[in-house]
Amino acid sequence: MKKIVISPAIFERYPQFIRGIVFVKDIEIAESNKRIKKPLNKIIEQRKSEGQDYNDHPFVKAWDEAHLRFGSDPIQYPPSVKTLLARAMGGGGLPFINTAVALFNYISIKYLVPCGGDDIKKISGNLFLDFATGEESFMGLGGTKLEHPEKGEVIFYDDQSKQIMCRRWNWRNADFSKITTDTKELVINVDGIDGIPLSVIIEARDELAHLLQEHCAAKLTVGLLTEQNQQMDLTQ
């Protein structure tokens, strides 16, 4: 039985880490949906109108500091929420990959927290968050070159195949586990770190779950991983 597991070593260094989980057992994912594009565009315009440098927002800075603590440069390898905000506010908006990805991008921009998702059927073992040994393998979205992480880098990986789903905690996703219109079973993570209240992660997770049910006919369950609860079974 597959599980999502956070290594105890992660909590030793980051005791305030929180991972909200949306486990989707069945879903209908489409290439486009005007009902989803409207709120996504609206939250982007709202963020632009606020005129704030979100690099200075405490939630965003908390992730910069978390990356620095495992030796990663958040300028060269920005946490996903920073990359998403930069693209959204850069004038060109965001590419609409598919309905599921658009919804968790919306949640990420609204709550200013990293979100990411993976197709469970592409993963052979447990979904494991831990510090890399350097022997694991990674091929980024749209990439053709096989890479290996730096030793000590935080990675989310398949503990059986040793393929990485996401490098540098939430910097770059892999191609092999990406969510497509053919995906039926997936896990979405909504992450919090020092200074990001538990209530924010729970609210973001639950809104995402509701939107997936409303717009994608998703059958799902939710969970929460913390220092006190470090793993979750992905049951049918």
User: 25-34: per-residue pLDDT in tens?
Assistant: 999 999 999 9
Instruction: Tell me how long the chain is.
Output: 236
Containing 223, the helix (H) or strand (E) segment is strand 219-225
* pTM recorded for the entire structure: 0.95
Q: How far is CA 127 from CA 19, 54, 60, 174, 193, in A?
A: 13, 30, 25, 13, 19
Domain with 76 in it: 3-233
pLDDT for residue 235: 72
Q: In terms of pLDDT, which residue wins out, 187 or 50?
A: 187
Number of structural domains found in the chain: 1
Cα–Cα distance, 87 to 127 (Å, whole number) = 28
Q: Average per-residue pLDDT in the chain?
A: 95
Q: Which two tokens stand for residue 151?
A: 């030793």
Considering Cα of 232, then 137, then 184, then 212, what sign does the dihedral take? positive
Domain of 162: which CATH number? 3.50.40.10
CA nearest to 21, candidates 131, 120, 91, 125? 120
The band of 93, judged by pLDDT with boundaries at 50, 70 and 90, is: confident
Helix (H/G/I), strand (E/B), else coil: 46: helix
Q: Which two tokens stand for residue 5?
A: 């597991």
User: 51-87: per-residue pLDDT in tens?
Assistant: 888 889 999 999 999 999 999 999 999 999 999 999 9
